[in-house]
Amino acid sequence: MLILIAGITGLVGLPCAKAAIARGHKVRGLARSARKLPQEVHDQLEGFEPMVGLHDIAAMDKAVAGVDAIICALAGLPEMFLETQLLLLRAAERAGVKIFHASSWNYDWNLSPGSHEIYDIIKAFAHQAELTSTIKPIYMFTGAIVEWYFRNSPRDWDPKSKTFNFYGPSTFQTRYTTADNIADYTLEAITAPDAAKGGFVCVQSFQASPEDIASAYKAATGGRGHVTLNCLGTIEDAKAKLDDARAKYQKKEWYEYIWYCYQVHIPSRSWDFEPVDVARFPNVKQTSLEDFFRQNPDV
C-alpha cells in the first residue's frame, strides 16, 4: 500500500511513518519541510512533497496522486484542522482516494459541543465531510497523547522537578495513548478490510490517575524516582479560571485558556468514551505508563 502522511514530521505523523515502513508499506510525505525528518526515515520514503503555506492545493494534488490511503496528521491548529484538512480531502476526492484518516486523536469531540474551541473545529470538519464528500473519513478517539503531556506541556508535567500539575481529585483517571500506539492503531484502521467505510475508532494505551502517575514513575525508576503531585484546586476552581479567561480573551486567543478546558472536562467525563476497538485490533501491544517512563528516562 502507498500511504500519504500529511504532517509527516509531527508528533503523530512521524510515528505513523515509522509504523507504516515497518509493515512494508510505501510512504510519501507532505509537510512544509523534510528537514525535521530523521535521515533513516527520509531515506525510506517513496517521495516527499513540500507544502508552501496552509492552502497549497498544487502540492496536495501532487501528493495524493496514486496513493491508496491518506493519514492526515497536521498540527493541532484550527486553520489546519478545518481549512487545510478540507482542501486535502478535496484533493483526495479528485484523485479517487477512498481511505482517509482524519486528524482526530483526542477525546470524543462529538460530546459537549461548545466546551472546547478546537474540538468544535474538528467536529465542523467531520460535519462538512459527512454532508458533502464522497469519502468517509476515519476518526480515532485516543484520549490524551502521552508524549504531549510529558514532553510538550510544561503546565502538566515539569521534567526537571518531576511535578505533575492538575485540578480535581488525585484519583480521577485520564485515558492516555502513546504516539507509537496511535500509529499502530492508525495503521490497523486504514488497512482493515472495511477502511473505506470510515467511522469512529475508540482506543487507548492505559488509564491513569495522578496517583497512578506517581506510582508508575517510582516503579519505572526502581524506587529511586519521586513525583510531586501538585493539586491546583478543585474542578470548580478550574472552571472559574476557564470562565474568567474566556471573558478576558478573544476567541482567536483560545491558546491562552484551552488548558483549563482539559482540567474541567476530563475529570468531569464530558468527552469520555469506551475504548471498544482495542479488542478489534489485538495485534497492537498496548504500552503501559510504567513502560513509557522506563523507555523515556529523560521525561
pLDDT value of position 69: 99
User: What's the pLDDT tens digit per position in 118-159?
Assistant: 999 999 999 999 999 999 999 999 999 999 999 999 999 999
For residue 87, pLDDT over 90 is answered with yes
pLDDT band, very low/low/confident/very high, at 280 (cuts 50, 70, 90) = very high
What kind and span of H or E run contains 269?
Answer: none
**Rounded distance between C-alpha atoms, residue 145 and residue 87, angstroms:** 26
Lateral strand order in the sheet of 69-72: 47-50, 26-31, 2-6, 69-72, 99-101, 138-141, 199-202
pLDDT value of position 106: 97
For residue 76, pLDDT over 90 is answered with no
Query: Strand runs (DSSP E) across the chain, as ranges?
Result: 2-6, 26-31, 47-50, 69-72, 99-101, 138-141, 144-145, 157-158, 163-166, 174-177, 199-202, 206-208, 228-231
- What's the average model confidence in pLDDT over 86-106? 99
CB 21 within 8 A of CB 46: no
Residues near 151 by Cβ (< 8 Å), separated by ≥ 6?
Answer: 159, 296, 299
pLDDT value of position 169: 98
- What's the average model confidence in pLDDT over 103-123? 97
pLDDT value of position 122: 97
Structural domains for the chain: 2-145+177-205+271-286 (3.40.50.720)
For residue 59, pLDDT over 90 is answered with yes
**Rounded distance between C-alpha atoms, residue 71 and residue 88, angstroms:** 10
User: What's the pLDDT tens digit per position in 202-220?
Assistant: 999 999 999 999 999 999 9
pLDDT value of position 32: 96
**Burial of 51: CB neighbours in 10 Å, binned 0-12, 13-18, 19+:** buried
User: What's the pLDDT tens digit per position in 28-42?
Assistant: 999 999 999 999 999
CB 148 within 8 A of CB 107: no
pLDDT value of position 75: 83
- What's the average model confidence in pLDDT over 185-199? 99
